[in-house]
Amino acid sequence: MPITHGVHALVWTGGWSPDEARHAIAATAEAGYDLIEIAPIDPTGFDAEMTAALLQEYSLQVSASLGLSEDTDVSSEDPDVVARGRERLATALSVLRDSGGTVLCGVLYSKLGKYAGPATERGRANSQESIAWLADKAADSGVTLALEFCNRYETNIINTTQETLDFIAAVGRPNVMAHLDTYHMNIEEHSFREAVQAAAVAGRLGYVHVGESHRGALGTGTIPWTEFFSALTEVGYEGIMTFESFSSEVVHRTLSNDLAIWRNLWTDNRALARDALSFTKSRLAAATGRA
């Protein structure tokens, strides 16, 4: 099966009103993508029925990504905070399911933001237990969880592929996979090839984000793209590959602050998205010797 090419909804809009949702989904289809990754930052106010209807209208697939807040951090030692986090995760899972998707990815295991110290033993256990609990709920709906490890400034739970694989092993659920993101890998990994191979050998390579080192246009930063795409080709990756890029003009204010998006990296998101898809497809073709 070919790779499913996706684009993050925040390339198009920072909200999800009916007009914003139609704009994002229509623009995704127009740019030639197979899938849109929605971002139900506050899933309680997310209209899944409307989203599903628009996706069907434009013949698009969907995934969903999430990052928790300090008040919903399932790696907290406070049981009330963990309970609120689980409630948010369960709501996001319902949004994804009712929108027609089967992969919930992102920072599902902690808050998205810098911590003052390393994770505690109890906090890490709370995180793992919460992901196991969510995985069981997800399995009932045929949903896979893909845990996105992030750089040291955005989580203290998992920062590398190997840490993610160790975390998944501790969770012990078959529908929990590793979500690799080139932006974070560029900060934390010593080898893109070895990271991809480790996830593949473990049977846990489940989702991929392609993002440039500065979060702007692909091919204009320092990501070792040839190494990365070659590694994916070598292991036979056939899953979802979503383009992710942020601009302070578009990104949701809360997420923009969490990710430190202080400047505009682009102004024309339609050209950005089209160029990203062309770049990704051409590099994958070159990696397989078809270019």
148 as an active site residue: the answer is: yes
Reported as a pLDDT band with limits 50, 70 and 90, residue 235 is very high
CATH at 17: 3.20.20.150
C-alpha dist (Å) from residue 34 to 82, 152, 184:
35, 31, 24
Question: What's the total number of domains in the chain?
Answer: 1
Contact 95, 40 (CB under 8 A): yes
pLDDT digits (tens, 9 = 90+) for 92-123: 999 999 999 999 999 999 999 999 999 999 99
Buried b (16+ CB within 10 A) or exposed e, 69-108: beebbbbbeeeebbebbbebbebbbbbbbebebbbbbbbb
Nearest 5°: the CA angle 36, 150, 117 is 145
Considering the chain, what is the average pLDDT of its residues?
Answer: 94
- Quick check: pTM over 0.85? yes
| Boundaries of domain holding 121 | 4-287
Is residue 223 packed enough to be buried (19+ CB in 10 Å), middle (13-18) or exposed (0-12)?
buried
Output the pLDDT for position 45.
87
Catalytic residue among 57, 212, 244, 249: 244
Q: Is the pLDDT of residue 139 over 70?
A: yes
Provide the total of helices (H) and of strands (E) in the chain, helices listed first. Answer: 10, 8
pLDDT above 90: residue 260: no
* Per-residue model confidence (pLDDT) at position 265: 75
- The pLDDT tens digits for 9-58 are 999 998 899 999 999 999 999 999 999 999 998 899 899 999 999 999 99
244 is catalytic: yes
pLDDT confidence band for 291 (50 / 70 / 90): very low
Task: Given the residues 148, 154, 189, 212, select the one marked as catalytic.
Answer: 148
**Share in percent of the chain as helix, strand, coil (round to 5):** 45, 15, 35
